Amino acid sequence: MNKNAVISGVIFVLSLIVFFVLIPQQVYEREGATMGPQFFPKMVTIVLAALSLLLFVQSIFIGNLSKRGSYKKFQIKPYYFSLFLLVLFSFLYIAAMGILGFLVSTVLFLSATLMLFGEKRFLVVGSISVVGSLTIFVVFGNFLNLLMPSGLFSPWFEFLLY
């Protein structure tokens, strides 16, 4: 099965789920109402389902052209693990901001992403993480008055904000 066929299949199934399950359950509409709140989302999902079918047909056609190099199969690439780690770190960072506070969680997240991007020098990682996080904290906190997420360690650094 080629890549586009799988993608079109996923979009088609999702469109059906949205049309038959999510919209009836999550969009309240009076019985017999025309042009009510369900009208537009339903119209969009119908078009999406139709387009996904068209993509499926095209992908089958392109699949037959595999000799010309248009056929693309799913492959597990070695960099997928790094991408997965970055997404995982991002969600952990969001969770950590509410527990540890902005500054400490940012230092940890920045260190992790710097290493993920290939920075091997620990001194550089440490200094960039600390200086970068502090700069962002001070600039956004003081000049833009942004209320940073607070947590366990936030009181330690309140003196940096005026």
Partner 1 sequence: MEQLIELSMAFARMYSQIDVVIAILVGTCVGLLLGAIPGLTSTVGIVLLIPFTFYMSPLAAISMVYAVHKGGTYGGSIPAILLNTPGTPAAACTQQDGYPLTQQGKQGKALKTAVVASAIGDFLSDLVLIFATVYIANLVWAFGPVEIAAVLFFAITIIGTVAGKSVTKGLISAFVGLLLATVGLDPMGGTPRLAFGLVEFQKGFDLVALLVGIFIFSEVLVQLETAIIRQNVRETHVTKRKLKAEDQKLTLKEFRAILPTIFRSYTIGQIIGVIPGIGAAITPWVSYGQAKSFSKHPEEYGKGSLEGIAAAEAANNAVCGANMMPLLTLGIPGSTDAALIMGVFLIHGYQFGPMIFQEQPHLVYGVFAAGLIAIFLYFILGYFLAERIGRIIRFFPAQIIYPLVLITSFLGAYAGNSSLFDTGAMVVFGVLGYGMRKNGFSLPALVIAFMLGYKFEFNLRQALRISDGDFLIFLTSPISLICILFALGLTVYTFKKRSMETE
Q: Is 81 in the site for partner 1 (CB under 8 A)?
A: no
- Indicate whether 1 belongs to the interface with partner 1 (CB under 8 A): no
**Closer residue to partner 1 (CB): 124 or 158:** 124
Q: Which amino acid is at 152?
A: L
Tokens of 58: 């095209």
8-state DSSP, 35: S
Euclidean distance between CA atoms 110 and 154, whole angstroms: 18
Report whether 11 contacts 3 (CB < 8 A).
Answer: no
Other CB atoms within a 10 A radius of the CB of residue 29 amount to: 14
Check residue 100 for interaction with partner 1 (CB under 8 A). Answer: no
Q: Which helix (H) or strand (E) holds 47?
A: helix 39-63
Does 27 contact partner 1 by CB under 8 A? yes
Tell me which residues touch partner 1 (CB under 8 A).
3-4, 7, 11, 18, 22-23, 26-29, 34-37, 39-41, 44-45, 47-48, 51-52, 54-55, 58, 62, 65, 70, 79, 82-83, 86-87, 90-91, 93-94, 97-98, 106, 109-110, 113-114, 116-119, 124, 128, 132-133, 136, 140, 144-147, 149
